[in-house]
Structure 1
Amino acid sequence: MALAFHNHTIPQDAWYILTGIPGMEYLHPWISIPICSMYIVAVVGNVSLIFLIAIERSLHEPMYLFLSMLALADVLLSTATAPKMLVIFWFHSTAISFASCVTQMFFIHFIFVAESAILLAMAFDRYVAICDPLRYTTILTSSVIGKIGIATVVRSLMICCPFIILVYRLTYCGRNIILHSYCEHMGIARLACDNINVNIVYGLTVALLSTGLDVVFIIMSYTMILHTVFRIPSWAARCKALNTCGCHICVIFMFYTPAFFSFFAHRFGGKTIPHHIHILVANLYVVVPPMLNPIIYGIKTKQIQDRIILFYSSVNTCC
């Protein structure tokens, strides 16, 4: 149902319409099934991982503490988006207030920037573990890990709070349909009748100077890791060293590949890539990596496997 607007709309009074996946409305009930399933697996898997790391003192190591931060970010990202998507798909409840839309926008961007920083911290952890193993415990102390966690949150706040100011400063007049399943910065800004060049420039700057720099530093870390690994004379030792990085590399590709696809397709592929493909990839992006991350670490990390088996064995014994 379209909502009527005056010539100039006060943002606090505005309501928007989220269309879901435009052009694929007839498939919404079917699309909701895998998305709902993946969301449930993501929440259960990541919460279980956080709980396991919290109760097992043997897992209170830097790599697993960073992994618990990643799991928390995954739960928050999927929870900030999937429930509203499912409500749209199931009940056609497409209306959302301006305040709720901006709140969702903030959390999506905040969590994305934070998760990128966590992946960078995990790359630094693997760099120290392989390139400077004798100083690993003295460099990555509990205090340092805590400071990295705080810095991640502060950086995300400093980067994402201006998004709120930038959308509230705009004048809105008539357009209230967002061709998406959830709210994001440029989706809201494009509904304004003001000049949004500042929004565009800030969005690009954030992408390049936060996420872009994170990717550069991750690549630098793994370049130095590979340089160190291939200087190891033993093939068995090389494989063992590379295996410790395997999970993280998989997670990096799952996180950044769809993100950069959406970023470049949105800006440069508007006429060659159908809009519904953009939105479908964006929808899967917020549930697929959060679902797969705990599975990958559970399958490829022996310490986690052992603790899961031990935990369920003790539960069965008690029962």
Structure 2
Amino acid sequence: MSSTATSPAARPAPGPGTERITFAQGLRDSMVVARRNLLRMLRIPEVVLFGLFQPVMFVVLFSYVFGGSIDVPGAGTDPGAYRELLMGGIFAQTVAFATAGAAAGIAEDMQKGIIDRFRSLPMARGAVLTGRTFADLVQTAMTLLVLAIVALLVGWRVHEGLLNALAAFGLLLLFGYSFAWVGALIGLSVRSPEAATSSGLVWLFPLTFVSIAFVPSENMVGWLQPVAEWNPFSATVLAVRELFGNLPAGYEAPDAWPMQNPVLASLLCSIAIILVFRTLAVRKYRLASG
């Protein structure tokens, strides 16, 4: 770690009578940690490339294998309508699956003792996790960009203008950032990167598939429908579909409150997840490094 003016090591270690670390210093520490993780991603590009492969594969498989067999409310089995409806689910699934990468990365840093090295520096305790989650957010944004290009190639289009499209991507990034904090807590709670990866994925599959991401809730068995409709993942999926203009003309949202107010529901859920899991993760970090 460099001892330049931007490094946490440039400040004297806090001792009796010293001032507490300010918000600006904590933010600067977070950016130093984020830069370290982004440089690491650049030096190991295969990690980023393999992270791109899965969502691209989902786009191609679901578009051309299931595109003509799933009934879209208001559009029948039109493959084009399903491709447009599908992309909101793929985008949301992609940012949610970034949880596993965040969990594995933090678990690896714990295992190698890098977290202990950060702990020995006079830096804000929450900066290590904030920096890591910010770096994950940058990687998620890059993945979304590539995924959007692939989606355009298979026929996906935006119909509600640039501002609404930017708002949709903003919602997706906020949702992804909230799940990065879930990954941070998982990474601090397990003993190895392998366990972190498994723990980060095992609950994501039911979360994403018991939702309206790939099939309408009315196509599910009766007791699963309210589960899917109140799933925060479903709210984000429907919100971005509305903002992109990817809902068919005859589509009618289910009566559940999140389905009637998807943008607001997605915002509230993402903010709540960040507040809860950031608090738990920072507390876990302090206990682990105490």
Same fold (TM over 0.5): no
Larger CA Rg, structure 1 vs 2:
1
